[in-house]
Amino acid sequence: MAFNMKNAVYKFTTAVAVAGILAGCSAGKGGDSFGDAVTLKADSITVNAIVDPRQWASSGDYAAILGDKTDTALFIFSLPDFDLRYSALTRGEGPDELGMWPDLHSDNADDGGFYVEDFSKKFTRLYMPGRDSLSMKASYKMKNIQAIVNGKKYITSKLNITDGKKVDYYRLTDWETGDVLDSIATLGVWFTDKIGDYTVHYQRNSPMCTSYGDKLAIAYAHTGRVDFYDLKDDKFALYKSQGDLRTIEQLHDDMPKLKDNAEGSVEEVASDKNYVYVLERTKIKEDANGLPTYKCIVKVYGWDGSCMEMYELDKQVTSMILHRGSGKLFCYDNALDFEQVYVYTPKGL
């Protein structure tokens, strides 16, 4: 899963202001709800490079940052020190260059490398980071990856029209053949508005996912719901749901009523062998200039769907990646210039 810092597609960023949905209930570690949040203080790392980030991802002991419209496309940092090692790939018309709007993903294996998808040139390529250089290991026809599943399958998305309504589907797809093995309708809700002479389509409660091995977690942006699936039999086998359990029909009815008061959202998800990490952000106030102040929470679930720990971050952040080797979370606020990366070490896991 890669993490968007600047979304090229219009993203409706407000969310459902239901405190119980995002905060969870009071309980102990390992149950069906969370206890009190533990405050985490960040170590700040100064970024000694001019990088205009759009996405980032982690693999093994490296992070890759995809620049936004920069001539040089990728910047490779070592982890956990977050030191810039080198830059790689350029944008252009050449066969080994990237177009303007590529996507970046990491394999769900601990050191499986980075996948770069180029929508203009219609390819997906696997790159492996080394200490001093990036090497291309494979090139495929573009796959539209949402998550890699055990190196043999992947999740892709497809928008269908069902009963006159737009429905986003996640599809479990064979890596080699491209055959769709199974699919599920997600809980993303589409709306249509008229703005003058223009018709605008936008989605609320958009899904985002993370995987490890044959397990998949889908988190929903505006309800805080997290669904856990086992994919080992080439099926979406749902075994646990946490958070807001409203149906898609209920969400269609409820979200238009709530959108004017919407203040919180899930921003990112990440995972390792043991845990799923969900970054949530909730607006708590506005300053004298009308600029919002946010409370940022990271919820940690076990892969059995249990609630493990909840952390309140001491900084406002919008993006998060995980270094699986150290368990550290690297965060960034896209409202600021990319000068500081905040590093958090979860406690009590």
The answer to whether residue 281 sits within a structural domain is yes
Beta strands at 83-90 and 53-59: parallel, antiparallel or unpaired: unpaired
Q: Is the pLDDT score of 263 beyond 90?
A: no
The answer to whether residue 100 sits within a structural domain is yes
Question: Average pLDDT in the 195-212 region?
Answer: 89
Whether the link from the prior residue into 80 is cis, omega within 30° of 0, is yes
For residue 147, which of 121, 187, 112 has the smallest C-alpha distance?
112
Of residues 190 and 298, more confidence is placed in 298
The answer to whether residue 78 sits within a structural domain is yes
List Cα–Cα distances, 193 to 46, 89, 197, 256, in angstroms.
42, 40, 11, 11
148 contact partners, CB below 8 Å, separation of at least 6: 105, 106, 107, 108, 109, 112, 115, 154, 211
- Average pLDDT of the chain is 87
What integer pLDDT is reported at residue 8 of this predicted model? Answer: 35
| Residue span of the structural domain in which 252 resides | 3-344
What integer pLDDT is reported at residue 21 of this predicted model? Answer: 38
CATH number at residue 277: 2.120.10.30
Of residues 155 and 97, more confidence is placed in 155
Question: Average pLDDT in the 131-147 region?
Answer: 93
Residues above pLDDT 70, as percent of the chain: 89
Using pLDDT thresholds of 50, 70 and 90, give the confidence band for residue 161.
confident
The answer to whether residue 48 sits within a structural domain is yes
The answer to whether residue 349 sits within a structural domain is no
Domain count, the chain: 1
Tell me the C-alpha distance between 238 and 251, whole Å.
Answer: 20
pTM of the complete model: 0.88
Q: Is the pLDDT score of 315 beyond 50?
A: yes
Tell me the C-alpha distance between 327 and 298, whole Å.
Answer: 13
Cβ atoms 223, 242 nearer than 8 A = no
What integer pLDDT is reported at residue 97 of this predicted model? Answer: 86
Among the ranges given (28-37, 39-48, 331-340), the one the predictor scored with the smallest mean pLDDT: 28-37
The answer to whether residue 137 sits within a structural domain is yes
